[in-house]
Amino acid sequence: MTTTTTQTITLTGQKKGCIMPTLPTLKYTTGKTDQFTLIASEMAVIHNVWIKGWNSIYQQAPYILERDYTDFIQYCLAWHACLEVHHDGEEEDFFPKVEEAIGKKGFLSVAVDQHGTSQPNSSITATFHDGLTRFHEYLLSSARNPRSFQPHTLIHIMDTFGPALHHHLAEEPLMLMKLSQFNFEAKAMWDKHGEESMGKCSAVSTLPFVWVNLDTTFEGGIWANWPPAPKAVVWVLRNVLSKWNSKVWRFGSTDLQGRPHQLLALRPTYKA
């Protein structure tokens, strides 16, 4: 399964632009519900948020009107901020605790190395890390002077590291399945990590990015109630706090309820 996904993103990156295919979950493809299958599946679900967000940026960038540059740049920066919180949480919290629980220091080092926060030690890591840095720096520069924003420049940067990023996003959930050889309470650890990661995201400037790219119809709707937070809390996050920067979240691949819709900049009604 990993090989197929990697070939797909490489092929599209070469011929049609760097559009990433979403990842199937093991819960859906195998029907299993053990704790390790659920952890790997939920990892794929959150990775699909980054994938759908990436695609929404890549597909819309060439058509964004100058009047919307500021909002679109903030949308792109929110993608980066979410990804950063996700990776930092893995490296600083979840992975070290897992390795301590199984008594195997370095067992998850491949995933950490791919993040590239230390010295890159492979071509995939270096490409992923360097491209992500250029992406962030270009958007920060553009945010200071939105009129200077050049969509084709952003697309070019994304083309340089999209395949490497997708390789990482596709490989990591499968790597977590290797934890099934150990006997420990992994799911409780994972759930706590997820709760803490959500808490580190701004409810008005970052977390709404998740809501507008978390497809609640995916795989027949089996993830419609994910993440497992109290319904009242999720309702407030989606319907109240996300209104603060509503113009930014217009570019999402779904509405705030997770229902897929046509991308704003690709609609016939989106005109100067």
Amino acid at 146: P
Per the structure block, which two tokens stand in for 242? 């996300």
CA nearest 39: which of 95, 82, 84? 95
CA distances from 129 to 19, 49, 50, 180, 216 (A): 19, 19, 16, 29, 30
Task: Give CA–CA dist 231/133, Å, rounded.
Answer: 36
Per the structure block, which two tokens stand in for 138? 């270009």
CA distances from 211 to 9, 110, 204, 221, 249 (A): 24, 29, 11, 15, 9
Three-class SS state of 118: coil
Residue 260, strand partner residues: 254
pLDDT per residue, tens digit, the chain (272 aa), is 333 333 333 333 333 568 999 999 999 999 999 999 999 999 999 999 999 999 999 999 999 999 999 999 999 999 999 888 876 667 777 788 888 888 877 666 555 444 444 444 444 455 678 889 999 999 999 999 999 999 999 999 999 999 989 988 999 898 888 889 888 898 988 888 888 787 777 888 888 999 999 999 999 999 999 988 788 888 888 888 888 899 999 999 999 999 999 999 999 999 87
Q: Helix, strand, coil proportions of the chain in percent (round to 5)?
A: 70, 0, 30
